Amino acid sequence: MSDHALDTDTLRAAADDLARHDVALVTLDSLRFDVAAEAAAPNLKALGPLRRATSYGSFTLPSHAAIFGGFLPDVTEEPQWDFYSRELRQLWRLSRARRQAVPRASMLLNGDNIVEGFGRAGYRTVGAGGVRWFSSGYFPGLFDTFRYWGPDGDDTDKFAERGFGDFALDHVEELVGEVAATERSFLFVNAAETHAPYTRGTDDPFDTETQRIARSWSGSWNGGAVVPFTTAARKDMARLREAQRVALESVDRKLGRLFDALTRPTVVVVCADHGEAFGEKGWWGHNQPMPEVMSVPMWIGVLHPSGCQTAVP
Ligand SMILES: [Zn+2]
């Protein structure tokens, strides 16, 4: 398949195969591609190759609007087309999207968004979130069941210290219980550990110095100012970058528990919703569409309860 061409029969077979699986989609909030590439993340590595993808949004709202609209971060680099191809551009697609002569997705879903689409296809839709966009409103309302573990209200400190065990992925048993009780499920989790201040999770003391740095930089970021990038600032950024890597490694351990707990063959997609700037051109954080923010990591695979993984066709 040197030219990556897939015939229509192959695409239909892939669609039939995927339609028999449960689906789990995890977004790692704010995770940079290069941080993902340098982290020790054995459970993600076992899921499938790390793909460099481009997000459709520079912050949580537009990125998830695109994802729920059927557009995962898009893979455009040819060497990584072991799953994606010129023909197969997405895992799923809404039937109301523009008609194409050759189907460009494995699963065709009917509805205003993929959550409704999975619901209409007989899947129970279960969601969980950890950043404010999931505390109430549009996104949680899409799901049959939605749980939110994150900061409350609109006026609390954005970087207020969380208690231990209050991230969505600290509740794997509860989430798996929800999906195992039904015949087929679509599980969505927004993991906030990798969002500033890059909380490590339950198995490590909270790093107050990282929190202090993230809070101090958040002021300049929220004001939209591009700050002078001094030596001290570079040191701060290096520390934040390291903290995000450590946060991802804690998430990988939690994902291992989630993957082990799944009871049926499941198509699993893990991706960042957007990246993060660490001082490039004087910027920190996300919102601004720059390469470090728009380039994101993505892993896709099929998990079987027996523990063996296979790549999606
Ligand atoms: Zn986000």
Ligand 1 centroid–CA 48 distance in Å is 23
List the chain pLDDT tens, one digit each, 313 residues: 333 344 556 556 655 666 778 999 999 999 999 999 999 999 999 998 899 999 999 999 999 999 999 999 988 775 555 555 556 667 788 877 766 655 556 678 889 999 999 999 999 999 999 998 999 889 999 999 999 998 775 545 555 555 545 899 999 999 999 999 899 999 999 999 999 888 765 555 556 777 788 877 776 554 445 566 778 888 888 989 999 999 999 999 999 999 999 999 998 999 999 999 998 888 888 998 999 999 999 998 888 886 545 544 4
- Quick one: tokens of 81? 């087309």
Give the distance (Å) from ligand 1 centre to CA of residue 102: 33
Distance of CA 199 from the midpoint of ligand 1 (Å)? 15
pTM listed for this prediction: 0.88
CA of 276 to the centre of ligand 1 (A): 9
Task: Kindly give the distance from the C-alpha atom of residue 43 to the centroid of ligand 1, in angstroms, as a whole number.
Answer: 22
What protein residues have CB closer than 5 angstroms to ion ligand 1? 29, 60, 273
- Please report, for residues 68, 91, 104, 308, the alpha-carbon distance to residue 113 in angstroms, rounded to integers and kept in the order given: 5, 14, 17, 31
Q: Are 185 and 126 in contact (CB under 8 A)?
A: yes
Q: How far is Cα 280 from Cα 226, in angstroms, rounded to an integer?
A: 10
Ligand 1 centre from 157 Cα, in Å?
17
The CA 100 to ligand 1 mean position distance, Å, reads: 31
Cα of 83 vs centre of ligand 1, distance in Å, is 25
- Distance from Cα 130 to the centre of ligand 1, integer Å: 10
Residue 243 CA to ligand 1 centre (angstroms)? 17
* Residues 139, 298, 172: CA angle, nearest 5 degrees: 60
HEC letters along the chain? CCCCCCCHHHHHHHHHHHCCCEEEEEEECCCCHHHHHHCCCHHHHHHCCCEEEECCCCCHHHHHHHHHCCCCCECCCHHHCCCCCCCCCEEEEECCCCCCCCCCEEEEECCCCHHHHHHHCCCEEEEEECCHHHCCCHHHHCCCEEEECCCCCCCCCCCCCCCCCCCHHHHHHHHHHHHHCCCCEEEEEEECCCCCCCCCCCCCCCCHHHHHHHHHHHHHHHCCCCCCCCHHHHHHHHHHHHHHHHHHHHHHHHHHHHHHHCCCCEEEEEEECCCCEECHHHCEECCCCCHHHHEEEEEEEEECCCCCEECCC
What the block records as the tokens of 290 is 């720059």
- pLDDT at residue 101, rounded to an integer: 59
Cα of 274 vs centre of ligand 1, distance in Å, is 6
Å from CA of 298 to ligand 1 middle? 14
Q: What are phi and psi of 126, to 5 degrees?
A: -125, 125
What spacing in Å lies between the alpha carbon of 277 and ligand 1's midpoint?
13
pLDDT, residue 50, reads: 92
| CA–centroid distance, residue 133 to ligand 1 (Å) | 9
- As a whole number of Å, the end-to-end CA separation of the chain is 12
Give the pLDDT score at 215: 77
Distance 104 CA to ligand 1 centre (A): 27
Residue 223 has a pLDDT of 45
Q: Which domains does the chain have, with CATH numbers?
A: 8-310 (3.40.720)
Tokens of 265: 């063959």
Ligand 1 mean position, distance from CA 63 (Å) = 8
* pLDDT (0 to 100) of residue 2: 34
Residue 113 near residue 132 (C-beta atoms within 8 A): no
The span from the CA of 231 to the CA of 218, in Å, is: 18
Cα 160 vs. chain centroid, distance in angstroms? 23
CA of 168 to the centre of ligand 1 (A): 15
Give 273 Cα–ligand 1 centroid separation in angstroms: 5
CA of 241 relative to ligand 1 center, distance in Å: 16
Q: How many CB atoms lie within 10 A of CB 206?
A: 14
Which residue, 263, 254, 271, 272, is CA-closest to 303?
263
What's the 213 CA to ligand 1 centre distance in angstroms?
A: 19
Burial of 219 per CB tally in 10 Å (0-12, 13-18, 19+): exposed
Task: Find the 29 Cα to ligand 1 centroid distance in Å.
Answer: 4
Reported for 206-209, long-range contacts at CB under 8 A and 24+ positions apart, including other chains, are 206/161, 206/162, 206/164, 207/243, 208/161, 209/239
Distance 9 CA to ligand 1 centre (A): 37
